[in-house]
Amino acid sequence: MGPLFPLGTIGEEFNMLIGFFIGIGFGFLLEAAGFTNTRKLAGVFYGYDFVVLKVFFSAAITAAIGLYLMNHYGLIEMDAIFYPKTFWIPTLIGGLIMAFGFLIGGFCPGTSICAAVTGKIDAMVFVLGAIIGIFGYAMTYEPLWENLRNSGKMGEVNIADWMGISDGLFILLMTIVAAIMFFAVTRIQSKVTSKRDYQL
């Protein structure tokens, strides 16, 4: 039964090795989906390429369904898995800052690393910027950021619980909404790109 490392079924070294192979899969798929192309990434905000939404939601839904079913059939123990604590204030504000970062920089950390290693100079600069940003944040942490970062503490909150519905229902609703959205954005994309050539 998973998760194998926290339950002691596999050792630390083996766990790291598996992490490496999982990383290969992730990196390969990000590149194959075209996420090293910064204009494709920005396309989600301008309507000419919705690849980000499609990949993102497909991945999240697949994982949510898979983990839920595995937990139900006893293949994995969700209680032993890392579960992020919800701090709604810094997450909201951090998210807005990241939105700026995305639109100005054209990447997010994961895609920027993929792009940087495949030769995109702008991505390399982005990674450098991110490291500078983290460093700057770290050095000014106590006076500037610490209180903000720990505000809005809600503990580990499951969104289905928060909404008062069951996990299964939430997954179903999320998937249906996503399916409708996929249909809608596909239409929008063909309309927008038929007007101009975006040379992706």
Partner 1 sequence: MNSYLAGILIGVFMIAAYYFSGEGLGASGALKAVVVTAVNDVNHDYAKEAHFFAKRVANEEQSPIKSWLIFEIIGVIAGAIISAALAGRLKLEIGKGMRITNRSRLIFALIGGILFGVGSQLGRGCTSGMVMSGMGVLSLSGFIGLVAIFGGGYVIAYFFRKLWI
Partner 2 sequence: MMKKVLDLFYVAILLVGAFWAFIVNSTSDEPIDRIQPCDLVDIVAHSDKYMTTDELARRLMSDDPTLTLVDLRTPTEFKKYSLQGAINIPLAELLDEKYVDIINQDVQTVVFYANSSDLSAKAWMLTKRLGYNNNYILRGGLNHWVETILRPREPKETAVRAEFELYSFRRAASAYFGGGSVTGESVVAKPKAAPIKRKKKEAAGGGCD
The least distance separating partner 1 from the CB of residue 148, rounded to whole angstroms, comes to 7
The least distance separating partner 2 from the CB of residue 174, rounded to whole angstroms, comes to 7
- Which positions from 171 through 190 interact with partner 2, judged by CB under 8 A? 171-172, 174-176, 178-179, 182, 186
How many angstroms separate the CA atoms of 101 and 133, rounded?
11
CB 92 within 8 A of CB 160: no
Given the structure tokens 């390399």, which residue do they identify? 124
Among positions 30, 42, 80, 192, the unique one binding partner 2 when judged by CB under 8 A: 80
Residue nearer to partner 2 on the CB measure, 42 or 171: 171
42 lies in the binding site for partner 2 (CB under 8 A): no
Q: For residue 145, which of 137, 135, 155 has the smallest C-alpha distance?
A: 137
Collapsing DSSP states into helix, strand and coil, what is residue 136? helix
The least distance separating partner 2 from the CB of residue 196, rounded to whole angstroms, comes to 21
151 lies in the binding site for partner 2 (CB under 8 A): no
Residue nearer to partner 2 on the CB measure, 172 or 188: 172
What's the token pair of residue 189?
């994309």
Q: How many residues bind to partner 2 according to rule CB under 8 A?
A: 45
193 lies in the binding site for partner 2 (CB under 8 A): no
CA dihedral for 103, 104, 110, 112, sign (positive or negative) = positive
DSSP 24-64: HHHHHHHHHTTTT-HHHHHHHHHTS--HHHHHHHHHHHHHH
- Which positions from 19 through 48 interact with partner 1, judged by CB under 8 A? 19-33, 36-39, 42-46, 48
The least distance separating partner 1 from the CB of residue 127, rounded to whole angstroms, comes to 7
The least distance separating partner 2 from the CB of residue 7, rounded to whole angstroms, comes to 5
97 lies in the binding site for partner 2 (CB under 8 A): no
How many angstroms separate the CA atoms of 140 and 33, rounded?
37
Residue nearer to partner 2 on the CB measure, 25 or 155: 155
181 lies in the binding site for partner 1 (CB under 8 A): no
How many angstroms separate the CA atoms of 27 and 172, rounded?
28
